[in-house]
C-alpha cells in the first residue's frame, strides 16, 4: 500500500479525534455567533478539508469565500511578507468574518492577513484554526477558536501538505524530518 511506504512517524490526531473536535468547534462557533450571519474566509489550500467539515457543523446562516496567499521567508519560518494569490470575490464590509486557517506557526502570515482584511471594515474579524503551535510564535495574536495545540513537529494530512503531497490523508500525521 502507498500509505505504508510514506515517511510518516506517527498519527498525531486520528480521523475520529478530528471529527469530534470539529463538532465541538462548530458548537462553540454556533453559540458565539447566534443571531448573526457568518462569513467564512477559507484560506486555500490547507484549510479546505477542515473548513468543509466545520461548516457542516454550524447551525447558522453561513456564506463562504476563498483566499489564497503565499508567504515569503527564509528557511522554515515565514516572514509575514505575503502575496495575495487569489483574493476574495465578495466584499466583507459590515460582515461578521471568521478566518478559517489550518495551522498557526510563527503567526506572521495571519497577522498580515488580519491587517489586510481589517482595512476592508468588517463588522467583526476573528480567527479559527485547526492547529496551533504556540511555541513558534513570533507575533502577538489572539486565536479565537482553536482545535488542537500541538508541539513543534511538522504535520501533514487533513488538508496540510508537504510539497503539495498528503493533503488527502484523513488524519494528521507527523512527517519524519
Would you please indicate which residues are annotated as catalytic (active-site) residues?
105
Q: Give the one residue of 25, 40, 46, 114 binding Mg ion; rule: CB under 5 A.
A: 46
CB hemisphere CA count around 67 (13 angstroms): 28
Residue 173 is a binding residue for Mg ion (CB under 5 A): no
Residue 159 is a binding residue for Mg ion (CB under 5 A): no
Residue 78 is a binding residue for ligand 5GP (CB under 6 A): yes
Name the strands in the sheet holding 155-156, side by side, starting at the edge strand that comes first in the sequence.
8-13, 172-175, 155-156
Minimum gap (Å) between residue 125 Cβ and ligand 5GP? 17
The CA distance from 57 to 27, in Å, is: 7
175 phi, psi to nearest 5 deg: -90, 130
Residue 78 contacts which entry, Mg ion, ligand 5GP, none (Cβ below 5-8 A, type-dependent): ligand 5GP
The CA distance from 54 to 43, in Å, is: 13
Residues that bind ligand 5GP (CB under 6 A): 46, 71, 77-78, 102-110, 154-156, 160-162
Amino acid at each position: 500500500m502507498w500509505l505504508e511506504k510514506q515517511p510518516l512517524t506517527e498519527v498525531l490526531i486520528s480521523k475520529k479525534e478530528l471529527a469530534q473536535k470539529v463538532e465541538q468547534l462548530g458548537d462553540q462557533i454556533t453559540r458565539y455567533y447566534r443571531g448573526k450571519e457568518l462569513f467564512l474566509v477559507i484560506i486555500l489550500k490547507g484549510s479546505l478539508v477542515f473548513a468543509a467539515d466545520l461548516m457542516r457543523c454550524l447551525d447558522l446562516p453561513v456564506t463562504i469565500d476563498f483566499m489564497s496567499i503565499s508567504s515569503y521567508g527564509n528557511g522554515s519560518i515565514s516572514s509575514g511578507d505575503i502575496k495575495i494569490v487569489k483574493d476574495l470575490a465578495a466584499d466583507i464590509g459590515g460582515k461578521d468574518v471568521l478566518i478559517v486557517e489550518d495551522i498557526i506557526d510563527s503567526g506572521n502570515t495571519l497577522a498580515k492577513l488580519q491587517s489586510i482584511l481589517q482595512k476592508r471594515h468588517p463588522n467583526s474579524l476573528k480567527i479559527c484554526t485547526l492547529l496551533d503551535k504556540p511555541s513558534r510564535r513570533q507575533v502577538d495574536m489572539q486565536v479565537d477558536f482553536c482545535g488542537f495545540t500541538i508541539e513543534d513537529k511538522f504535520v501533514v494530512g487533513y488538508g496540510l501538505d508537504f510539497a503539495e503531497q498528503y493533503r488527502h490523508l484523513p488524519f494528521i500525521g507527523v512527517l519524519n524530518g
